[in-house]
Amino acid sequence: METVLCKAQGWLRRHRVDAWLLYDYLGSNPVFWAVVGRLGMVTRPCWLFVPARGRPRLLVHAVDAGKFRAVGLPLVVFAGRAEMVRHLRRWLGGLRRVAMEYSPQGALPRVGRVDAGTVELVRGCGPQVVPSGDLFQEVALLATPSQEQSHRESARLLGQIVLEAFAYLGGNLSGALTEWDVARFIRQRFADLGLESTEGPIVAANAHSSDPHYEPSPSTSAPIRQGDWVLIDLWARLRGEETFYADITWVGYAGPDVPPAYQEVFRVVCQARDTALATLQQAWQEGKVLRGWQVDRVARRVIVRAGYGKYFTHRLGHSLGCTVHGDAVNLDSWETRDTRSIVPGIAFTIEPGIYLPAFGVRSEIDVFFTPQGPEVTSPVQREIVRIG
């Protein structure tokens, strides 16, 4: 925690923000606990005040004070709400800008963890409240070297497994194998290779591939036969508490000659994917820092101009971390407007998709932003897999 707080104070000084004020009530703000550490049952409001200069301190209720004594920070204890507010006014009085887990108009739910009433309370103490998204990302969400390596190894293994899955399917196109059978095969390969995932994978044939989050079950699973279109989306990480996920999507056709409709949509999706990556690489070379929404916008424009805009129904990509949908910046101008910076130490997906009624196409790659710029860490699909 000491390292995180030291980094946070450096960020505050560089960005001319007077303090970071973290607030939690009954687990409403996971950022608070990511910084402080889990302490067991805490039932009252609690605050962590991190000034740009000076010693951070905690404001906690008398009932919960014993839980916080081991944290090692100065502890201010209150009993009633009026006393709590008096302490906040004393701490915040005279400050101009205070960062909180706040998102203007709720535009970025990953950042907006503090309720409107609490923001009103803090504003009433004097300062302007500004979002803490970039601050938390920089001090707590950047990958360590070991996490980067775990991500790279997971991405390598997923590239191997997806080709094995297509080969397994190609060995029997009589309809004896179903989507569920292929998903079960993938899960077994995860176990064999030391990977884990709490959900998935997606194995979706024909119209099922038009549902971006379709998952087969024994009751809904369709058989896969000659002439079918198949999308496979698989995500996993090496076993362990701190390892990073990888996440890829590939598509295939059960037959030697892919129909032109599939080829055309695949071409547009790949063009959007590659344009997004090229935009990131060019910005790095020019010394520009992009925001998540900007990359989404570039890729989306490719799909809109090709006439498929209404069929691209989700963000361009998501952060990768210890969960498959991490807490760092997403490539998103559609579902949200992610204004956080894309910086070294972040892993994320690029996964444009077009979902027509009869079939869907998605091409998903992983990117790790290194100190030398964005680097693709997963295999990149260039041609539709011929199954069988």
**pLDDT the model gives residue 174:** 87
Domains of the chain: 2-140 (3.40.350.10), 142-386 (3.90.230.10)
- Calculate the alpha carbon distances from 42 to 24, 45, 62 in Å: 10, 8, 11
Q: Could you report the per-residue pLDDT of 183-231, keeping only the tens digit for each? A: 999 999 999 999 999 999 999 999 999 999 999 999 989 999 999 999 9
pTM: 0.94
As beta bridge partners, residue 231 has: 204, 251
**pLDDT the model gives residue 1:** 78
Tell which residue, 232, 214, 28, has the closest CA to residue 116: 28
pLDDT mean over 161-183: 95
Question: Are the beta carbons of 147 and 243 closer than 8 angstroms?
Answer: yes
- Any idea what the Cα angle at residue 142 is, between residues 146 and 295, rounded to 5°? 120
Residue 176: DSSP 8-state: E
Mean of per-residue pLDDT scores for the chain: 97
| Helix, strand, coil fractions of the chain, as percent rounded to 5 | 40, 25, 40
Cβ burial of 286 (10 Å; 0-12, 13-18, 19+) is exposed
Instruction: Tokens for 103, please give them.
Output: 């998102």
Question: Are the beta carbons of 2 and 37 closer than 8 angstroms?
Answer: no
Q: Could you report the per-residue pLDDT of 140-167, keeping only the tens digit for each? A: 999 999 999 999 999 999 999 999 999 9
Q: How far apart are CA 352 and CA 361, in angstroms?
A: 8
Q: Could you report the per-residue pLDDT of 51-98, keeping only the tens digit for each? A: 999 999 999 999 999 999 999 999 999 999 999 999 999 999 999 999
Q: How far apart are CA 59 and CA 62, in angstroms?
A: 10
Residue 12: other Cβ atoms inside 10 A: 23
Task: With cut-offs at 50, 70 and 90, classify the pLDDT of residue 304.
Answer: very high
What percentage of the chain has pLDDT greater than the value 70? 100
Helix (H) or strand (E) holding 175: strand 174-178
Tell which residue, 237, 265, 235, has the closest CA to residue 356: 265
Q: Could you report the per-residue pLDDT of 36-52, keeping only the tens digit for each? A: 999 999 999 999 999 99
- Calculate the alpha carbon distances from 180 to 190, 219, 221, 237, 320 in Å: 15, 9, 6, 21, 26
Tell which residue, 198, 194, 204, has the closest CA to residue 249: 204
pLDDT mean over 4-10: 96
Q: What is the DSSP string of 266-282?
A: HHHHHHHHHHHHHHHHH
Strands (E), 39-127: 46-51, 57-61, 75-78, 97-100
Tell which residue, 66, 73, 59, has the closest CA to residue 5: 73
Q: How far apart are CA 269 and CA 356, in angstroms?
A: 13
Question: Are the beta carbons of 353 and 314 closer than 8 angstroms?
Answer: yes
Task: With cut-offs at 50, 70 and 90, classify the pLDDT of residue 175.
Answer: confident
**pLDDT the model gives residue 273:** 98
